[in-house]
Structure 1
């Protein structure tokens, strides 16, 4: 058997799969790092970590100490798996060294794996000892009615001697570090000259993380792991010492371990005479792909950070403005390799009432400063005041950018490290998600970076110099908008499969007002329909962004497409202009109009526009429709899930659920529709009946009652229907179209009467009293007083006759938005 095949067979016997080929990245590193990204001296203090947290009590400090120890244990477990992955082929390579076709010679095997088994054994002993200590002091005590709870006594947990023992064996790393460059050189030469070894060296696997995710490494990446680990030893001890009270038994032991660790790294640095470039893999170097400012949320706090996306990692930094005469610099916060990185974004996060009040206060102050800025004179004194005002405005806008984001992008690495980024714009979040996702497809872990060199290079490499602040604009663009921008979202087409979809609309400009809103989610369909108007108060707006998002029942939203539209005050008018926008795989049809006017100060909360118990013509005007959204959404939900439901309009849903949905429709249409999608279908039918029952005036105006009852006396069916349809045409447009929309729906329900038992008679009996009422109780009929029973019969007969009509006119659900005869529909 071929020697290489024997080596591969050994690896497979150890359940370590070996792939035949590995794609390599083609990007080149930026020029400066290509020449100078060196294996820097092993400084323990070269990384600027966040400030030490302040603890309110020793108990809180000890609790935090336990968290730190658990993280150290998890990190050790990952490191041991990486060392095992590195050592896995050693036995097979040694066996092949004595054959006629060796993959590596005995000397080369000795060079490549020098001191690695000893380092593995040392860390295995450290890991086992630390795990035993933690297990002894963190035990499960079942409580009544509980599965169990963590119990420990912080001062009794002693681990300092374990760390001190490990640090006393750091000398093992000295030999590894001195041999490292030669080992890497052997790997590179053999990779280039031996195809068999190249396949092995570029496809080594390890189980990493709690979910045992299989991560692929290059040989060079695994060889770098011990170097990366030893440089972090001092930092780990510093973190542990920060959470250990001075009165604790471990404090002196950890101080001594820290001193020894620092002394070891200093000695290595003094003896290091040469540096060499660290490549990601064969012929691959690191390249900056994107950077920008984001909000980093950790442990309940938010911080504005500068994020750098490279070909193989994400680097999070904080910018430190230099004092006079010195250079600006970046401080390291954290980094995540892209190999195996999982992304998850979350929408519809809500601010707490306190946060909303804080944001409103900031916005109000910003608005006042903006007004003062516009009023300052052009003289020298005015310019000085303007400069001060602009500075305050910038500070407030930075605060707003930090505390207003609600979109969450979660980053989860196979090594169990996670970070959360926050965005105020879904469009920006999706840009970052797409860019990161493209680079995570090839699951190969590369050589970890020299963080000091990489972070120092950020000043020269950055493409985004500072957060985008509108307050820094010296002169407003004359084409920017100030007033009310209305966006009517009509429909979408081009979906590859039926989906529940919503459209997110965002505008730019000052943050005095809400700059983003969404339509409600459509029913499952190939062609979503909304006909929903959204309005923005805009100041200095120049761009409109749209995103079409598919919403699943599990909240795993997916962006189907996005686009940007330039807003030009010269082309936007007070009349609607219809446009069809291409968002990638889907097209969305919208209409725009703009009304310029001075803006009022921002309000603490948008005024509520209740839907129930309000005349239908008022609702239609507020929503810019002919059929209210509450009617359309309930009808869509019944037709989606309830046509086969027995007694769909006869059996009512839970009254509490109906009341909850009523309150939701009165406050937030989007939230109401989301709840409607999850409610029992009988609750949806109950909300629809309640809406018509609570109208101040019935859907069919009361002054038509006598005319309709007289039409019932016409014996000829066709003549009677012509008379009733003629009367219907005299109704106000919202009443007429809503009534027709409901009639068509009830006819579709009755078509399933064999299943749902809802005949036209049953439906007329249920809806008749809600849709039609006499103007005065006991109104005379044919010269005699009308009792309640006769009134009910007439209400049912009117609705029944309409339901029997086979040629009912179609209902218009919304007003035409392309009313400007000079404008034509445009495709963008």
Structure 2
């Protein structure tokens, strides 16, 4: 009853009605649905768990018996810990089941009885099975006897795990039911996307989706072979467990191949033609995104599958299997670019600065400018490697989702569009060549990866001893002129530029999108700050128009240009490069100078999004940033009569194009503003305000503004609001005043555009004002989420209604002439 009552309270918390029935039990949900047929031993998996054991050698059973027993104990403790986590996940999966069954008896059921049976089929049996195994293993380990046998426990699990076959066969139906009900019932969607489970047996709670929890048993099956291999490797030859574990390993190895290849789609699992062997096509170090956690992994693309492995460094480097997906039926879906959280971005800047200083220190030693001890240099190299490993794990921001037709999916993050395009092209080519495959021996395949890999080092070893060419360090100027030889002149094109830093590439710039031009001519110049650059990558990308916003960007051609510092130093070099069928003309020039550490704004930096507003305004020499002024003026020029202006979202591709333009080239942004739909202009302004690291009304003023709202006297309330406004930093105050004047002009046309002051305050309030993360002082004002929204909206509304606000100052006098010249420039 405790579990039931907890589940009922959980559902009631989401407003889902529950009818309590003390007689209900887990078996009620599955009456008549369990598969009583027992599968043969070779088709029955035991509970596989992932272990991260230390590197103790390669031979099975080799080494001193006593040391092997010590290592065996460590492996068993790791298995026990992982088993505890798995039990927690199974319990989290089953938590809402009884309550969902209770709602099935009401007039508004969340799920029907049949849907409940489908979603949770065989899950209670799995939980009971693993509880028994966990208890038995825990009791054996508590005895502390290194000679204590556990092989009978594993044998018992193997002989009872026919239930896994039923779970796996039902998995696709369960997932389909979850997805369908998530789309049709908001109550179930809320429930299915907020499942909670404790982590590692601690009080720390982790949020899962129901779909992710349903995949846990399948994920566990794939780790069987590696777990048994680890345990057997550290079990002495004369130990009574050895024959039991050997038989379990044989069974699990066979089942592992069968589950991943044969169970979901037996008809399509055929043998590769005689004489055909599995070949390695491409490999590289990518970031595997799992449950929100980034892990640097070595990914291998074979002719019939993708294998993800973890590289364990040491005197004898080894690979450990993580996951794999067969290529037949595999779909690849690029996702929107990920934005790092502000705290992670701050640490990223710190790590880049640290790597920059360490690299300079090592370079000075190479040039003989500084004499350091060997130990000091080795320590610097180790620190540099740690920095670059962290950067390599956290910098990639372009997601690529891999979906298998057997229901498994994984997401990898890549650092550049060029790299993403390479992986997609290879996978699509291999996927179309043949649907034939053989079930892989994952253990042997993973072990062979160290010899097969073609990328001999991850792109993080920037300090090569025999390297005298440090690449370009300074400013690389690139002018993109025009493209010719287009096969489809009606398409919309832009050019992407990517430059490496000691072998690691990232997106640097993008030209504006030219629409339907036979010979597109950009004539755009970019100044790229480079450090250790050797190559420039160019991509010609077809971007969808407004009416085709659902279509993905398509790379029409790409190439790599090697950068010769001597040929480009202080002089322009014009050339024509081939991007498959497209010919692109460009000019390059390199200026060498001492760079500032990354993360420190330079005079040539032009990025405005996700940058503190004071930094942007100071760089531009104004009190109201250009993006705020120009977007507001464009809305006033042609959007005051637009119904729902600021409420209706613009086309996402146009908003992102404007975002890129403001970040790279203000002159180009001014041209684009006049060409795109006015809702994209208003959306860009909202996006800029929303992405400010600190809101326009800083959090430390939230309590004072909230307190002003409760003042009954209108004159006193306005006086207090004006007083708070006057205490804001100059840029924040003037930008906010400018925005208020603009929104007033919008609301004056409310009879046509339907945007009242209340509507505008609702739209802008959450972006302009946020509470501090923690209350300030002992008497800090604490508000819940509903009160927070009320304060945000009411503060902006009250300011819009104030009649005694000062006029904003827009720009500094010294910058006026230059600014006016740019705004008046015709495209």
TM range (shorter): 0.3 to 0.5
Normalising by structure 1, report the TM-score: 0.48
Q: Which has the bigger relative contact order, CA under 8 A and spacing at least 6?
A: 1
Structure having the higher Rg: 1
